[in-house]
Amino acid sequence: MHWRRTRPPHWRQKAFINGLGAVATAIATVIFLLTKFTQAAWVVVLAVPALIWFFTRVHRYYDRVGAILGLGRLPRKPEAKPIAVVVPVTGISRLAEYGLSRALSISKHVVAVTVVHEREGEDSARQRELESQWARWDPGVPLRVLRTEYSSVAGPIAAYVDRLRRRHHDLIVVLIPVAQPEQVRYRILHNHLDLALTAALRARPDVVVARVPMRIRPTGRDRRRTTRSDDAPNPPAWQSDPRPGTREAGR
């Protein structure tokens, strides 16, 4: 084909020589494969076409993915879309406050969820207690209490997220606040809800599961220092006023 397209001087002779060499090479290859087939030459016969087929399929796949992703083309401008944030909590604590603060930084559509186990009427009391404490705290985020008969916490939360997905077409972010001690040896003692919930929601492409680690230092010295600082009463105003003469004036 090269000589036919370019047609240089004496191209017919050159094309004949090239074709003759190609035929001789093909004949030698066939003779080699027939004579050496039983001496592992069949590996080459099978492996080379298989590799060619495999790499061809891989190349076609990358071409299709590149077309879907628009590689090499300018996409349209990004646009903001509303996000619904779900924050699993176990109760009212600094960890819940930490997670809700991060969630409100992402979106104004935030809901807190907690799971209550149904067992011999205790669930109603526990639910009323949580709702009462939440109303007194009033973090500006509604609390959704999920009731279940089983010990699984990830299952009811995943089912609630699925209900949100059916009602809303927005992106859903599940933001899990986790306590993360600075000492690695203490981390195994904490609840690993994030691992179970990530595994339960992995197959949902429109749900993003993220961890919000809260660093803590559960050592005896730090705990005593924190307790003393938390229990100490606030000083009077005249003690905290840096201006000279304020204390005497207060008397």
Residue type, 136: R
Query: For the chain, what are the domain ranges?
Result: 2-69, 83-219
Which pLDDT score, from 0 to 100, does residue 200 have? 86
Of residues 169 and 98, the one with the higher pLDDT is 98
* Chain CA centroid to CA 86, Å: 14
Of residues 119 and 108, the one with the higher pLDDT is 108
How far is 93 from 114, CA to CA, in rounded Å? Answer: 13
Q: What is the CA radius of gyration of the chain?
A: 35
Does 226 have pLDDT greater than 50?
Answer: no
How far is 189 from 187, CA to CA, in rounded Å? Answer: 5
* Mean pLDDT of all residues in 46-50: 84
Does 12 have pLDDT greater than 90?
Answer: no
How far is 48 from 103, CA to CA, in rounded Å? Answer: 55
Show the DSSP H helices in 84-153 as ranges: 94-106, 122-137
Q: Are strands 143-148 and 109-117 parallel, antiparallel or unpaired?
A: parallel
Closest by CA position to 169, among listed 87, 85, 86, 84? 84
How many CA atoms are closer than 13 Å to the CA of 66, on its beta-carbon side? 9
How far is 95 from 22, CA to CA, in rounded Å? Answer: 76
Under a CB-based contact definition with an 8 Å cutoff, are residues 177 and 99 in contact?
Answer: yes
Domain 83-219 has CATH 3.40.50.620: yes
Under a CB-based contact definition with an 8 Å cutoff, are residues 191 and 176 in contact?
Answer: no
pTM: 0.62
How far is 89 from 80, CA to CA, in rounded Å? Answer: 28
The model's confidence at residue 177, banded by pLDDT at 50, 70 and 90, is very high
How many CA atoms are closer than 13 Å to the CA of 232, on its beta-carbon side? 9
Q: Chain-wide mean pLDDT for the chain? A: 78
Strands (E), 182-233: 207-216
Which pLDDT score, from 0 to 100, does residue 215 have? 87
Which pLDDT score, from 0 to 100, does residue 8 have? 73
Pull the structure tokens for residue 180: 């993360």
